[in-house]
Amino acid sequence: MNELDSLVESATQLFAQSATPADLENAKAQFLGKSGRVTELMKGMAQLSVEEKKSRGAAINVAKQAIEAALTARRQALADAELQLQLKAEALDVSLPGRQRGQGGLHPVSLTLERIQGIFGSMGFDVAEGPEIETDWFNFTALNTPEDHPARSMHDTFYVEGGTATAPNLLRTHTSPMQIRHAVQHVKKHRAALDAGQAMPEIRVIAPGRTYRVDSDATHSPMFHQCEGLWVGENVSFKDLKVIFTDFCRTFFESEDLVLRFRPSFFPFTEPSAEIDIQFQTGPLAGSWLEVAGSGQVHPNVVRNMGLDPEKYIGFAFGMGPDRLTMLRYGVNDLRLFFDGDIRFLSQFQ
């Protein structure tokens, strides 16, 4: 291989090794630049004769053109590669499914709360809401709960800032404080009629909402839901409570032959008190008694704290657990699943 051929060869090699346009321009300078090797060869012809210059010059020119061709080819190859990279990076796969805004839905417990409100609404019950941070008065004292009742202990109740040293504020442990709050409002609204010895429209209300207790296992969550019910009038009886609650359960569970049982119990704010159990006659839960609510006749002291005369007014109250109703309705056996926020679990209820 002669000197010029090997020059072309080494230029071509160096161009091939240049990975970027900047490298390539540096490589070019080594051959075609002002003091590049081709330029040096041209300068070297000065001493040659005219004849020699002619043939030598032509040969150098051939080599120079070969180097320029190699340079152009390499430039093009680098530009092509660059373009390919860019195309790849910006590529759109038009066959991919479109991205949609996530479809939201209601939480299963919210679905239950809506269902409860719908059913009791159709039976003439109002819906009331109240604060989750309660005073000792509404949560305990007004509800006839004695000073030393275990529910008042730190093991059971989350106390928060505010209130007084002997009666600190707390996260409500049940929705029963709404019995007092709502009744007091109702009585205030009808004060004039009451004072004039006229009849007060019955109180018929449910109060759903979040409640809190120091408790956590498969069937207890420190935050859970309750729905209070209160019915106060001059002629209300346990029978009425049983009728509406049976109606509610049958509608809620879409089970016409479901049976109710009132099992004697104790709550400071009702006397007598009863747990309400239900029994399905068909389906996977058929046969066993399932507790769904606490209930009772509102204690005279509580009726008094509502601003009403317990000799004249009689009240019935119940408190149910919408979380438990949701578990029973859908056959879920761990309450915590509802509050873990796992979309895979929650989306099944849409």
HSE-up of residue 217 (Cα within 13 Å, Cβ side): 1
Instruction: For residue 9, say whether it is annotated as part of any ligand binding site.
Output: no
Comparison of 112 and 270: residue with beta carbon closer to ligand PHE:
270
Stretch that binds ligand PHE, among 5-13, 117-125, 316-324, 340-348 (CB under 6 A): 316-324
Dist. CA 262–CA 341, nearest whole Å: 35
Instruction: Please report whether residue 296 would count as binding ligand PHE according to CB under 6 A.
Output: yes
Task: Answer yes or no whether residue 224 interacts with ligand PHE by CB under 6 A.
Answer: no
Q: Does 209 bind ligand PHE (CB under 6 A)?
A: no
Closer Cβ to ligand PHE, 174 or 181, answer by number: 174
Give the number of residues in contact with ligand PHE, rule: CB under 6 A.
11
Q: What is the CB-side half-sphere exposure of residue 37 using CA atoms within 13 A?
A: 17
Q: Does 317 bind ligand PHE (CB under 6 A)?
A: yes
Nearer to ligand PHE (CB atom), residue 11 or residue 142:
142
Distance CA 41, CA 35 (A): 10
Burial of 64 (0-12, 13-18, 19+ CB in 10 A): buried
Contact between 349 and ligand PHE per CB under 6 A: no
**Which parts of 139-198 interact with ligand PHE (CB under 6 A)?**
174, 176
Give the DSSP H or E segment for 86: helix 50-89
- The helix (run of H) or strand (run of E) holding residue 344 is helix 343-346
Q: How many CB atoms lie within 10 A of CB 5?
A: 13
Can residue 318 be called a binding residue for ligand PHE (CB under 6 A)? yes
Contact region with ligand PHE (CB under 6 A), list: 1-9, 29-37, 189-197, 312-320: 312-320
What tokens appear for 36 in the block?
């590049």
Question: How many CB atoms are closer than 10 A to CB 103?
Answer: 7
Q: Which stretch binds ligand PHE (CB under 6 A): 17-25, 50-58, 82-90, 290-298?
A: 290-298
CB of 104 to ligand PHE, least distance (A): 31
Residue 305 binding ligand PHE, by CB under 6 A: no
Which residue reads 């578990």 in tokens?
327
